[in-house]
Amino acid sequence: MGRSAKHVYSAPADVQALQALASELPANGHVRLRLKDGGACEGVVAERATVQVYFDPTEQHQGINGELRLERPDQPDWHRWMWLDEIASVEHLDSTLGSEN
């Protein structure tokens, strides 16, 4: 199994929450994310976030999570990967939500 995650979710409510969060993160959308650890991160979504099946090696089971890559056009070498379950809320700093085909 090549794809593992520190935390995976299988309860229907958790999966639905991750799917809803992914739908709030459109490709090329400029967002500010409030993180569950109290931090924040701002950037442009490199590609639409999707939920996928991962394996949790600690708990030894499969479940759902998703990855997100943020970039900053003004800093070409900067990027940040994060797990969807780390995000508490999304603030849209532009109007790209709903503009994807």
Q: What is the pLDDT of residues 35-45, one digit of tens each?
A: 999 999 999 99
Tell the residue number behind the tokens 């070498």, with chain if given. 77
pLDDT tier at 1 (50, 70, 90 boundaries)?
Answer: very low
Of residues 29, 39, 34, the one with CA closest to residue 88:
34
Considering the entire predicted model, what is its pTM? 0.85
Distances (CA, A) of 45 to 10, 11, 30, 93: 25, 27, 7, 12
Quickly tell me which residue has 């940040």 as its tokens: 80
Confidence category of residue 101, pLDDT binned at 50, 70, 90 = very low
What is the per-residue pLDDT across 40-74, written as a single tens digit (0 to 9) for each?
A: 999 999 998 889 999 998 888 999 999 999 999 99
Across all residues in the chain, what is the average pLDDT?
90
Residue 60: count other Cβ atoms within 10 Å of its Cβ.
7
